[in-house]
Amino acid sequence: MKIRLNETFITDNSSECEKDCFFLSCFQNAKFKDEALKKGAKIIDVREAKRLLGIDEAIKIIGITGTNGKTTTAAAIYSILLDLGFKCGLCGTRGAFINDEKIDEKSLTTSPILKTLEYLQKATLKGCEFFVMEVSSHALVQRRIEGLEFAAKIFTNLTQDHLDFHGSFENYKEAKESFFTDESLKFINKDAFHIHFNVKNAYTYGIENPAFYQIKAYALENEIDALILAKNQSFHIQSPLLGLFNLYNLLAASACVNELVKPNLADLERAISGFGGVCGRVEKIVEGVIVDFAHTPDGIEKVLDSLKNKSLIVVFGAGGDRDKSKRALMGKMVAHYAKNAIITSDNPRSEDPKSIMQEILRGFEGKNTPLMIEDRKLAIYKALELKKEDDLVIILGKGDETYQEIKGVKYPFSDKEVVLNFYKNQGK
């Protein structure tokens, strides 16, 4: 990509280089530096790129990493800060936003560094004081955040995912740990799988284990209601969101905002309650039908456990060209919680959907034998046809994605639209 300057531009792609342009050299493209030089480009690093782009170094960048919860925690911080009167930017799985305006569509969870600098330039022009971003394990290994200074960092949790990329859980864990070695403000989930982190300027949060931000009492029946103690302070989290996992997300978000801006606690409570959640994350499409992005064993367990008092019909699959070892584990989780389960296709990518479905099926071990319907639209329709008045249909894996990736092609597809079309055709 390239960013225009007055009479030239900055690029991270050597094939775009020409005389007197600027080539942003970083970990990912360093081997193309000589090619850029031959074309007459001036080589710059991230610090120089920030100066050329006029990025305000006073913008406080907040980074969130973890297997699950990044998107909701980031969105909650963004929402709370805006409600408290601050100007703020956000980038991650859902795209990029500045002061309640969407400026870019969905892409990678963490963009290449030049794209992030473009967002920070726009945030500067809009007077932002904060910028919130999701930080993936892939980005940490590939150093897509090099040169960025973080005012605060959050660790949500660590469970099995992305082993196709990292090779082992230990490598995945080390990638996450690499984000927490400095002396920036850090917020660590004390109840999650333990990671090593620099204790300087670190705050812990949790429910089960002693933590600086400690939940002392909570209720999760139809919404979240919790009392938080933090040294000599206390405040409430009241939210329309569902589930223990969302309580952790809101706790992390509120702890981070509280330490960064020291707001009046009554204002903080109001801002927390004003956050309505994220599209595709336990999103109610119509009464009795929910769509969620959960695509790991832990993510599925957290969502289904939060709704276990309902009679559940679950539609789900698993992505192709990704960690195969989690597929049977996903099936096992659904088998444990669902009254009825339908295994279908997710984003099979280059793999055969039927093979993926058979690997998921192993997790059922003869329990509640699921239906196998490869066509995702037909699988969703079948679930809705099976639904009785007291049932809850949960469609997992894709959330608010608007495509299905098959053999290198992204076909338009939305779980939400399929549900709405079903009821439209039913005349409801």
Known binding-site residues for meso-2,6-diaminopimelate equal: 322, 346-349, 397, 401
Helix, strand or coil for residue 405? strand
| Residue at token pair 């969302």 | 246
Measured between its terminal Cα atoms, the distance across the chain in Å is 46
What does the alpha-carbon distance between residue 75 and residue 96 come to, in Å, rounded to a whole number? Answer: 11
| Count of other CB atoms within 10 angstroms of residue 305 | 14
Buried b / exposed e along 117-139 (16+ C-beta atoms within 10 A):
bbbbbbbbeeebbbbbbbbbbeb
- The closest alpha carbon to 166, from 175, 158, 157, belongs to 175
Q: Residues within the annotated binding site?
A: 14, 66-72, 109-110, 136, 142, 144, 322, 346-349, 397, 401
- The closest alpha carbon to 343, from 310, 286, 383, belongs to 383
Are 192 and 175 a contacting pair, CB within 8 Å? no
Stretch (H or E) spanning 14: none
What does the alpha-carbon distance between residue 241 and residue 177 come to, in Å, rounded to a whole number? Answer: 29
Q: Residues within the annotated binding site for ATP?
A: 66-72
Sheet of 311-316: strands edge to edge? Answer: 283-286, 289-292, 391-396, 311-316, 340-343, 371-372
